[in-house]
């Protein structure tokens, strides 16, 4: 019997990757993916715990799903509801307390046991839970996601985090840092490329901390892995995210100057421009370290653009700290950024710190920072007009004959050209700038 599976995903790209893998695994057990929750026999929520808002969204979604399940029941159909991801890991049994109608709670390292959990749920009266950390098995048994003609794909190479920034739940929800073996990563990359993928984004909560034994028996770092991927014919572009500034070693910086496939765009979370706040956050770098690192990257790859994450209103953040952040942002210049108000997460050291910053102050600081970052982003996008960028074409555009691709800087680029096909990498002269995209014409096709 074919059953239908609906997945809703929140949080980071690793959750997106995991959702696809869970779908591939469940497909082997008769589940076909649907984008309509109303017709699903199994609803899987892949959740995020990073900020309070993210976690609360899950419970409001569960409230809606409860009604949906009731309506389906009246029509004689049963619906199973599973909570996966970081809320499942962080809250465990508490999920059943807050939402007793949930059938399954499954943590990020137990996905390979989903079929078994479904079978157990069919026999049991109450909900079933699995939040073990059995990382080694997860990647072996959770199969490769369907590529479905995608030009760009994610590939998780590292999971977990040992950094313990004082504000962050990830070390608790994803567990200790582990790297996937190089041979496994290369094999998955080869399968993706054979299926037509031309761009791979290597994923990890601390992706630049990746290390492992290479096929040559030597110890590899991320730079070495990237160089091996760059030798794969057909793979046009390589990205990696998210990097911690501390783990950006000299080899990786050098790779940016030497590996043409490596996109000149790097997400490098800064969080704050104040050394005092960075220390309290346990980030283990100073504003100067960050400045120096960016300088090195720009030396080897002058066209590199940066994206970043910021937290305003960390406990004890004074006006002068906030101003230090604004000044450093002005000095460095970011092409793109995410910024957040500090959210106190249960169990993290920062949640218990004194001198929590009042919400209205956080609000104002966030508005100031975002105004600056938005202006930088607009200026960066507008500055692309007249430049020639490598664009990888991913999908049809809204107008007939038009294709949409991505620049190295993740900008959407619209081009109408009868010679162009999805999957092509072409040099495009940018002629127009719109708030959310660029447009241009092909100069040299590849
Ligand atoms: N591993 C990455 C970030 C993972 S979380 C890194 O080290 O930078 C993504 C972003 O969420 C973080 O960079 C941070 O800016 C933000 N974030 C994490 N915890 C937060 C919290 N408690 N409150 C507000 N923002 C938070
Ligand atoms: Fe969280 Fe810090 Fe680890 Fe990033 S490095 S995942 S912010 S603890
Ligand atoms: Fe969220 Fe977990 Fe990713 S908390 S950001 S889904 S690692």
Give per-residue pLDDT as tens, 204-249: 999 999 999 999 999 999 999 999 999 999 999 999 999 999 999 9
Measured in Å, residue 338 CA sits from the centre of ligand 3 at 15
pLDDT one-digit tens code per residue, 62-108: 999 999 999 999 999 999 999 999 999 999 999 999 999 999 999 99
The pTM of the full predicted model, rounded to 2 decimals, is: 0.95
Confirm whether 3-130 and 388-445 share one CATH topology: no
Nearest atom of ligand 2 to the alpha carbon of 244 = 5
Q: What is the pLDDT of residue 129?
A: 86
Measured in Å, residue 174 CA sits from the centre of ligand 3 at 8
Residue 144 confidence class, pLDDT cut points 50, 70, 90: low
Residue 137 confidence class, pLDDT cut points 50, 70, 90: low
Name the closest ligand to CA 269: 1
Residue 446 confidence class, pLDDT cut points 50, 70, 90: low
How far apart (Å, rounded) are the C-alpha atoms in residues 19 and 106? 12
**Token duo for residue 162:** 């040992």
Nearest by Cα to 341 from 59, 54, 48: 54
244 lines ligand 2 (CB under 6 A): yes
Is 311's pLDDT higher than 70?
yes
SS3 annotation, the chain: CCEEEEEEECCCHHHHHHHHHHHHHHHCCCEEECCCHHHCCEEEEEECCCCHHHHHHHHHHHHHHHHHHHHHHHCCCCCEEEEEHHHHHHHCCHHHHHCCCCCEEECCCCHHHHHHHHHHHHHCCCCEEECCCCHHHHHHHCCCCCCCCCCEEEEECEECCCCCCCCCCHHHHCCCCEECCHHHHHHHHHHHHHCCCCEEEEECCCHHHCEEECCCCCEEEHHHHHHHHHCCCCCCEEEEECCCHHHCCHHHHHHHHHCCCECCEEECCCECCCHHHHHHCCCCCCHHHHHHHHHHHHHHCCCCEEEEEEEECCCCCCHHHHHHHHHHHHHHCCCEEEEEECCCCCCCHHHHCCCCCCHHHHHHHHHHHHHHHHHHHHHHHHCCCCCEEEEEEEEECCCCCEEEEECCCCCEEEEECCCCCCCCEEEEEEEEEECCEEEEEEEEEC
164 lines ligand 2 (CB under 6 A): yes
Residue 135 confidence class, pLDDT cut points 50, 70, 90: low
Q: What is the pLDDT of residue 139?
A: 60
Determine the topology of domain 3-130 in CATH: Rossmann fold (3.40.50)
Measured in Å, residue 160 CA sits from the centre of ligand 2 at 9
Please tell me the residue having the least CA distance from ligand 3 atom 3.
Answer: 12
How far apart (Å, rounded) are the C-alpha atoms in residues 235 and 197? 7
Query: Average pLDDT, whole number, for the chain?
Result: 94
Q: What is the pLDDT of residue 148?
A: 73
Burial class (CB in 10 A: 0-12, 13-18, 19+), 129: buried
Q: What is the pLDDT of residue 13?
A: 95
Is 21's pLDDT higher than 60?
yes
pLDDT one-digit tens code per residue, 362-397: 999 999 999 999 999 999 999 999 999 999 999 999
**Token duo for residue 81:** 């509801």
**Token duo for residue 426:** 């072409």
420 lines ligand 3 (CB under 6 A): no
Q: What is the pLDDT of residue 141?
A: 53
Domain limits, the chain: 3-130, 147-263, 288-383, 388-445
What are residue 80's DSSP bridge partners? 42
What are residue 340's DSSP bridge partners? 311
Is 142's pLDDT higher than 60?
no
Burial class (CB in 10 A: 0-12, 13-18, 19+), 72: middle
**Token duo for residue 67:** 């009604």
Strands 211-213 and 219-221: antiparallel
Residue among 108, 171, 278 to mutate when testing ligand 2 (max atoms within 8 A of CB): 171
174 lines ligand 3 (CB under 6 A): yes
Q: What is the pLDDT of residue 435?
A: 84
Q: What is the pLDDT of residue 134?
A: 67
Tell me the CATH number for domain 388-445: 2.40.50.140
Determine the topology of domain 147-263 in CATH: Transcription Regulator spoIIAA (3.30.750)
Q: What is the pLDDT of residue 123?
A: 86
How far apart (Å, rounded) are the C-alpha atoms in residues 408 and 264? 6
Measured in Å, residue 108 CA sits from the centre of ligand 2 at 16
- Main-chain dihedrals φ then ψ at residue 58, nearest 5 degrees: -65, -40
CATH ID of 288-383, from 3.30.750.200, 3.40.920.10, 3.40.50.2300, 3.30.420.40: 3.30.750.200
173 lines ligand 3 (CB under 6 A): yes
86 lines ligand 2 (CB under 6 A): no
Residue among 45, 50, 91, 309 to mutate when testing ligand 3 (max atoms within 8 A of CB): 50
**Token duo for residue 329:** 């942002």
Measured in Å, residue 11 CA sits from the centre of ligand 3 at 5
Measured in Å, residue 428 CA sits from the centre of ligand 3 at 35
Other CB atoms closer than 10 Å to residue 309's CB: what's the count? Answer: 14
Name the closest ligand to CA 345: 1
**Token duo for residue 20:** 């696809």
Task: Residue count of the chain, please give it.
Answer: 446
Residue 128 confidence class, pLDDT cut points 50, 70, 90: confident
pLDDT one-digit tens code per residue, 256-303: 999 999 999 999 999 999 999 999 999 999 999 999 999 999 999 999
Q: What is the pLDDT of residue 219?
A: 94
Residue 323 confidence class, pLDDT cut points 50, 70, 90: very high
Measured in Å, residue 206 CA sits from the centre of ligand 2 at 7
Is 406's pLDDT higher than 90?
yes
Residue 149 confidence class, pLDDT cut points 50, 70, 90: confident
Residue among 205, 242, 267 to mutate when testing ligand 2 (max atoms within 8 A of CB): 205
Nearest atom of ligand 3 to the alpha carbon of 87 = 4
Residue among 15, 48, 50 to mutate when testing ligand 1 (max atoms within 8 A of CB): 50
Name the closest ligand to CA 348: 1
Q: What is the pLDDT of residue 145?
A: 59
Please tell me the residue having the least CA distance from ligand 3 atom 1.
Answer: 48
173 lines ligand 2 (CB under 6 A): no
Cis previous bond, 242, omega within 30: yes
Residue 170 confidence class, pLDDT cut points 50, 70, 90: very high
Name the closest ligand to CA 55: 3
Name the closest ligand to CA 171: 2
Asked whether 120 and 128 are in contact (CB, 8 A), the reply is yes
């Amino acid at each position: 019997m074919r059953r239908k599976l609906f997945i809703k995903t929140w949080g980071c790209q690793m959750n997106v990757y995991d959702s696809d893998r869970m779908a591939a695994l469940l497909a082997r057990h008769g589940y076909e993916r649907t984008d309509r929750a109303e017709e699903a026999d199994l609803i899987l929520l892949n959740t995020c715990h990073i900020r309070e808002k993210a976690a609360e969204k899950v419970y409001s979604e569960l409230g809606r799903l409860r009604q949906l399940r009731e309506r389906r029941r009246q029509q004689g159909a049963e619906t199973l509801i599973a909570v996966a991801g970081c809320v499942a890991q962080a809250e465990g049994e508490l999920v059943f307390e807050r939402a007793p109608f949930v059938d399954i709670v499954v943590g990020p390292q137990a996905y390979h046991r989903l079929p078994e959990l479904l079978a157990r749920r069919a026999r049991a009266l109450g909900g079933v839970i699995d939040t073990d950390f059995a990382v080694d098995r997860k990647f072996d048994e959770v199969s490769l996601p369907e590529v479905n003609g995608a030009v760009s794909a994610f590939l998780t190479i590292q999971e977990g985090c040992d950094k313990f920034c004082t504000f962050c739940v990830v070390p608790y929800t994803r567990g200790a840092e582990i790297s996937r073996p190089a041979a496994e990563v290369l094999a998955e990359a080869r399968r993706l490329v054979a299926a037509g993928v031309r761009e791979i984004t290597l994923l990890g909560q601390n992706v630049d901390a990746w290390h492992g034994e290479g096929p040559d028996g030597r110890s590899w770092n991320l730079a070495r892995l990237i160089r091996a991927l760059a030798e794969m014919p057909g793979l046009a572009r390589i990205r990696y995210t998210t990097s911690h500034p501390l783990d950006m070693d000299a080899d990786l910086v050098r790779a940016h100057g030497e590996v043409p496939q490596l996109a000149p765009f790097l997400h490098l979370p800064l969080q704050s421009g104040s050394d005092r706040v960075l220390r309290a956050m346990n980030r283990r770098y100073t504003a100067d370290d960050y400045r120096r690192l960016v300088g090195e990257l720009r030396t080897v790859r002058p066209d590199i653009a940066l994206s970043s994450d910021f937290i305003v209103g960390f406990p004890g953040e004074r006006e002068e700290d906030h101003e230090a952040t604004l000044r450093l942002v002005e000095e460095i210049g970011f092409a793109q950024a995410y910024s957040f108000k500090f959210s106190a997460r249960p169990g993290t050291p920062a949640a218990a710190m004194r001198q929590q910053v009042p919400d209205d102050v956080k609000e104002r600081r966030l508005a100031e920072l975002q105004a600056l970052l938005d202006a930088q982003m607009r200026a960066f996008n507008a500055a692309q007009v007249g430049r020639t960028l490598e664009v990888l074409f991913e999908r049809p555009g809204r107008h007939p004959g038009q294709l949409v691709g991505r620049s190295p800087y993740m900008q959407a680029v619209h081009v109408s050209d009868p010679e162009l096909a999805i999957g092509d990498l072409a040099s495009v002269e940018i002629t127009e700038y719109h708030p959310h995209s660029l447009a241009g014409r092909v100069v040299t096709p590849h």
